């Protein structure tokens, strides 16, 4: 997949040149430590992208969406664990360089940010937000993430990952209700009751079919993950 090569190059570009320069002992040690951390981040990101690309479904869906939108992935010094920004004039998902360098940390965060643009053909509703949130949880599951250990991921405490995959820390119905209350978005049946015309009714019917198909599709994945 061409996006992997592009993202890997973007990650590699973040490696500091300072590590190649000569410094006094103290500064040299700091530069080497910074270079080692940068390399660890790049290796973990590469591994995350490969695993998502090779994953059963959700990971591939995310990478295809990023590829079509020509969105890269890079690192940034920022307060947010993940955000959307611009790198070299191009849109990018930005991972905090302070995150622990683990594929199971990076992958669900990339998926959570990318999923904000998925299912845009559906009307704004709680079901659409559940589907977006569930994509991140499914990517975490596809990489072998342990929901029971959250917020600890591979030995490091990462609350941002717990938050990103929260849709699967509850059953689907409860998660849907939680999302509806948190966002104020109505559920499809409520929107259908208030539909103003045949066109809106048809759109909501199509949205409901998409949601039901999504639930059926994720059922086995949830079961396999003990969710």
| pLDDT, greater one: 11 or 116 | 116
Q: Domain limits of the chain?
A: 2-224
- Give residue 18's pLDDT band: very low, low, confident or very high (50, 70, 90): very low
Among 159, 113, 112, smallest CA distance to 139 is for: 112
Res. 48: pLDDT tops 60: yes
Tens digits of per-residue pLDDT, 76-110?
A: 999 999 999 999 999 999 999 999 999 999 999 99
What's the whole-number mean pLDDT along residues 32-43?
87
Say which residue the tokens 């977006």 belong to: 132
pLDDT attached to residue 36? 82
CA distance 58 to 52: 8
Mean pLDDT over the full length of the chain? 88
- Other Cβ atoms closer than 10 A to 85: 13
- Other Cβ atoms closer than 10 A to 43: 13
Q: Measured on CA atoms in the order 59, 61, 62, 63, is the torsion positive or negative?
A: positive
Among 57, 149, 143, smallest CA distance to 106 is for: 143
pLDDT attached to residue 35? 82
Res. 156: pLDDT tops 80: yes
Share of the chain above pLDDT 70, in %: 87
């Amino acid at each position: 997949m061409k996006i992997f090569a592009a993202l890997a190059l973007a990650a590699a570009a973040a490696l500091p040149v300072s590590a190649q320069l000569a410094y006094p002992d103290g500064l040299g040690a700091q530069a080497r430590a910074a270079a080692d951390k940068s390399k660890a981040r790049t290796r973990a990101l590469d591994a995350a992208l490969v695993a998502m690309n090779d994953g059963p479904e959700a990971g591939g869906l995310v990478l295809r969406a990023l590829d079509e939108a020509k969105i890269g992935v890079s690192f940034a010094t920022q307060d947010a664990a993940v955000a959307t920004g611009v790198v070299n004039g191009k849109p990018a998902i930005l991972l905090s360089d302070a995150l622990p360098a683990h594929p199971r940390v990076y992958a669900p965060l990339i998926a959570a940010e990318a999923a904000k643009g998925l299912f845009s053909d559906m009307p704004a509703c709680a079901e659409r937000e559940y589907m977006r949130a569930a994509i991140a949880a499914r990517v975490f599951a596809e990489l072998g993430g342990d929901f029971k250990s959250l917020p600890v991921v591979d030995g490091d405490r990462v609350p941002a990952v717990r938050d990103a995959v929260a849709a699967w820390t509850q059953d689907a119905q409860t998660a849907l209700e939680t999302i509806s209350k948190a966002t104020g978005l109505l559920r499809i049946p409520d929107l259908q009751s208030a539909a103003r015309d045949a066109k809106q009714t048809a759109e909501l019917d199509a949205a409901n079919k998409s949601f039901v198909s999504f639930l059926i599709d994720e059922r086995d994945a949830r079961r396999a993950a003990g969710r």
